[in-house]
Amino acid sequence: MSSLRRTSLLLLLLAGCGASMAGNAHQPAATAPPTPYAGVPTAADPAHASVHAPAPAPSPSRGDVAIDRPAPDERPGLGTTWGESIWSPVTTRPFERSTPSPWAIAAIHYNDEDGVRAHAAHVGGTIAPLEAFVGDGSIGVSLVGDGGDLLPGVRAAGRNLVVGADGDRYRLVVRNATSARFEVVASVDGLDVIDGQPASPERRGYIVDPYGVLVIDGFRQTESEVAAFRFGKVAASYAARTSGDANVGVVGIAIFAEKGAVWTRAELERRDQADPFPARTYATPPR
């Protein structure tokens, strides 16, 4: 993406882009995902391929009395594990960013129920189904459960905090309420969801169509499969077992506008309020 004139091929997630994608993909009926509702696909829960942390070293003992010494890297709360394989095919489409900088950036922090409730009580917030709106409010970002329902959370101290449960599967959903296309670069626990490497907005992303819904099911393994996102212990998280757990507990979204006119809500309101006669004063002498 080093040049605005350069056209990149970006992945388009077919499974969750809403009705506007109906005529663009031909999926084998035998392996097609379940029928979506309200723009968010549902899915039967396949066998949970759990990821286990390495067994801790035996605790040292003194005589017959065992000394309970927790592992030095043990951390409370949740991370995202490498889950079971999910069928989620992609194709490619050209997309040219309007600028090198994102049009909007969003972050959703997640934790177990105790952690989020403690934070909510501290700031006086109330836990309820949470969707974060970014940019000018035209793009909605959320985490949903396996049944398609918004996960509960709270907006506190400028952060979006979502409640997860150990072992539960979740999905990242981006809703586009505009007539423009956007590129969505997503990260989980500091890792890019497409290649699993440390995340950067400069990486390629998924496309969300006008008035479409993009559903990201997991870390991409191939052009047809992803490893499902599942909440789990920090030590068992994909990040902790690859690059480190420093950024565990946060989902990031960088949204790029396409080169050309972008008819966002803010732009439409600006045009609607345009004044045909902005100057209503008398002429002034030249300088």
- pLDDT by residue (tens digit) across 216-230? 999 999 999 999 999
Query: What pLDDT, on a 0 to 100 scale, did the predictor assign at position 73?
Result: 56
228 phi/psi in degrees, rounded to 5:
-55, 145
Question: Is the pLDDT at 69 greater than 80, yes or no?
Answer: no
Percent of the chain with pLDDT over 70: 71
Greater pLDDT, 123 or 9: 123
CB 265 within 8 A of CB 116: no
Residue with tokens 């109330």: 126
Sign of CA dihedral 252, 216, 137, 38: negative
Mean pLDDT to the nearest integer, 55-69: 42
**CA angle centred on 13, ends 258 and 197, rounded to 5°:** 85
